[in-house]
Amino acid sequence: DIQMTQSPSSLSASVGDRVTITCRASQSISSYLNWYQQKPGKAPKLLIYVASSLQSGVPSRFSGSGSGTDYTLTISSLQPEDFATYYCQQSYSTPRTFGQGTKVEIK
């Protein structure tokens, strides 16, 4: 199985801050990397697919980058509705593994 490791596990930030979350795969996954946002009591929501493609309807303050084993999700200016938990997920091979999540909290 490909292991996905996110950092940090949690962070505190203020509205307007630039936030960066990192995801590292245990082997190269060639941009087969997706990012999801989950709010308490809700299903995950797709934000980014194929490492850097923005899902329709997702605000442009969200962006993704990376290659090989290392990937990044960036929120350029954190908004109140962005406080949530974020997960990366690889789709290079099955099982389709997720990172452990990064909780973004209000500072």
SS3 sequence of the chain: CCCEEEECCEEEECCCCCEEEEEEECCCCCCCEEEEEECCCCCCEEEEECCCEECCCCCCCEEEEEECCEEEEEECCCCHHHCCEEEEEECCCCCCCECCCEEEEEC
**76 counts as binding other proteins under rule CB under 8 A:** no
Task: Write out the binding residues for other proteins, residues 51-70 only, by CB under 8 A.
Answer: 55
Query: What amino acid occupies position 42?
Result: K
**39 counts as binding other proteins under rule CB under 8 A:** no
Which of 11, 13, 22, 46 is in the footprint of other proteins by CB under 8 A? 46
Which of 25, 37, 89, 104 is in the footprint of other proteins by CB under 8 A? 89
**98 counts as binding other proteins under rule CB under 8 A:** yes
**101 counts as binding other proteins under rule CB under 8 A:** yes
**94 counts as binding other proteins under rule CB under 8 A:** yes
Q: Which residues contact other proteins (rule: CB under 8 A)?
A: 1, 31-32, 34, 36, 38, 42-46, 49-50, 55, 87, 89, 91, 94-101
